[in-house]
Structure 1
């Protein structure tokens, strides 16, 4: 669960907690001031808490859709990176970097976006170095460096490492790897049967048992199954995710080898029980659909090959897309929904158009790229025409020689 400090840290928490924004975990930041969306940024809402997040998701999704984003959009994201390699959620134009405002969530999704775009290896390497430098001694990551780790942030960091082709097993602090950090938050055989495989946001400060959290389970699951954004969805399995085998040691943590299938089995059961979606439950309030957690669950199941178990959830997200994306005006939600649809190999033309319209005009789209290639085809066609003319001349000359020889042999012909 989100801590009380984070819940009270920002007014954006209400949007995130209702599942209407595809944003990261909240940081311990001061009260917000309204900032206008700068040129090059996707979406028009205040970017204070999700500027880098939504820009990264948008660039990742559009690149996967064969859209070449505008230089201003890419430049905005790279311009947010600090000299030490980290990204803040948002840095106002002309503002200096403050290490205290850099966060692992923004850094992780920015790395994935730049890997998808290609051509930004230096920025990616610096971002990975920042993640390594700010890993906790237990192998986990916190939203802001120096705080206790959480499942969401650790999962996103692992996603970024996979995207950058860096083995998380080799990224360690004090002998604890990134996989060890992720395992801290997963419920194992000691938990009730219907909770096994889930992820908690953070351990209970009082030392109580881990409590399943929908968003933590969804976001950590993609890391547990070895995935990153964008999800290719190229692996398929007819079998359902395998639940934990608890016949032996019930106190041992979930091994990395079993982690992905275990959380997949948990998510599959939760989605089925919830009508193909996960819910957000807060004390004193009615449960509400958690669009963001549901989307990440669908991405994780698809990544692990269980697209059949994710199909109903993808359908539900598409049906609820207008409410979640605010009719396509929420850049982060629209980009996340597009990533889900791409992974599931659904028709993405409309979503791609809506997301494209939320930012600067792209340099090229899939259709434009085909049109750009037309002159090359024309050039090839010209070569083909000259070849045909040459062949025709040779045939004509050969025919004339044959006719001449025939007349010599038969002068009456």
Structure 2
């Protein structure tokens, strides 16, 4: 997760699964709408953090408040696109409103996951397709050069709507082809670059790699899941598949986090400073490609060290950690002793009440034992077995 230094820098660095910069929570100079998660200035990240919060809550089975969903849906422009934040959504979007692919794709993933917003989602996807670059990818703003991060978050949006990213073509090229052009050979680490530099050279970027691994697998924030357990090795090919490029990128991430257990900040003068947000993204990428065991190291590091960062950074940080926990195989409600779900919901409107179970006809066996009691007993036994396995696994870890 890159720290925001300006709107332009944010535009160049927003990534799939990442949150707003890690800044101490302080009163916002901009009035924060009641339906929005977080209390800090939403100018540059309102739609992004709201989308992440809604996706994370959906993934743990928490129904968000109608006001929270309504706020996000109300940010959409008539074109279908979303900007980072619109203070007055009743005012029509004009040329001065800077819409972007990342906010739009994140909102698509959130609204698709929640359901009931098909027209809005369809318009947003139509807009995203209309600004696809000739190389098959997307930049942060319409017409901007394709980058690994923006292309990946749009792939996540396409996946969320049931579309096959391989079939979303511009001049015969798909988003996967754009990502493959940004993948490095194994001799250079197997990572992904964010974009080519001015001389067309590619430089490994852990932030972009975490995003691109998930994107190359055709997944997004709402759909990332643990992959099959496998050794992560880099293997070159004359024509690598997206899956192989994802494996190469995951192998790069595994090597990068092996020593300290986290990704380091890329900011000048912060060489030894952990980057919590990008580490959370790496957990998702590693687990999605190599299974939960591949993500265990950085996931456990986050469990031990991320609480203060998340408290300072707010809702998107909590959402990132929830996604990392869900995909990495940890409990978001007991993440290093922190209930991430409770912490996230505390930053926004009270979630919708859980639906009251419909009374079912009591079914009993011949001995008069309730079937529901038997199910509960089975769940309790399963929980006990899980507890024993968890403790055994913890004892095995160095």
TM-score after normalising by structure 2: 0.80
For 1:293 and 1:326, locate their aligned partners in 2 and report how far apart those are by CA, in whole Å: 16
1:222 and 1:296 in contact (8 A); partners too: no
Residue 59 of structure 1: aligned partner: 54
Offset at residue 215 of structure 1 (A): 1.1
Contact 2:226/2:328 (<8 A) preserved: no
The answer to whether the aligner puts 1:240 opposite 2:231 as a matched pair is: yes
Q: Could you tell which deviates more after superposition, 162-171 or 343-352?
A: 343-352
Task: Judge conservation of contact 1:231–1:343 (CA < 8 Å) in 2.
Answer: no
Among candidates 155, 171, 174, match of residue 171 of structure 2:
174
In 1: Cα distance, 2:29 partner to 2:171 partner: 41
2:67 to 66, 69, 72: 72
Match of 1:197 among 172, 190, 197: 190
The question of 1:255 aligning with 2:244 is answered: no
Residue 124 of structure 1 aligns with which residue? 121
- Contact conserved, 2:231 with 2:290, CA < 8 A, in 1? no
Instruction: Report the Cα offset of residue 376 of structure 1.
Output: 1.6
Instruction: Work out whether 1:310 is the aligned partner of 2:299.
Output: no
The 1:10/1:149 distance shift into structure 2, 3 A limit, reads same
Corresponding residue for 1:340? 324
Task: Confirm or deny: 8 A CA contact 1:225 1:259 kept in the other structure.
Answer: no
**Cα separation, 2, equivalents of 1:107 and 1:45:** 21
Q: Which has the larger radius of gyration?
A: 1
1:185-334 matches, within 5 Å, as 185-189=182-186, 193=187, 195-207=188-200, 209-231=201-223, 233-237=225-229, 239-245=230-236, 249=238, 254-273=240-259, 275-326=260-311, 330-334=314-318
Distance 2:108 2:208 in 1: 20
CA distance in 1, matches of 2:161, 2:79: 17
Q: Equivalent of 1:154, from 146, 151, 156?
A: 151
Q: Which segments of 5 or more consecutive residues in structure 2 lack a partner in the other structure?
A: 22-27, 334-338, 369-398
CA contact (8 A) 1:231 1:303 kept: no
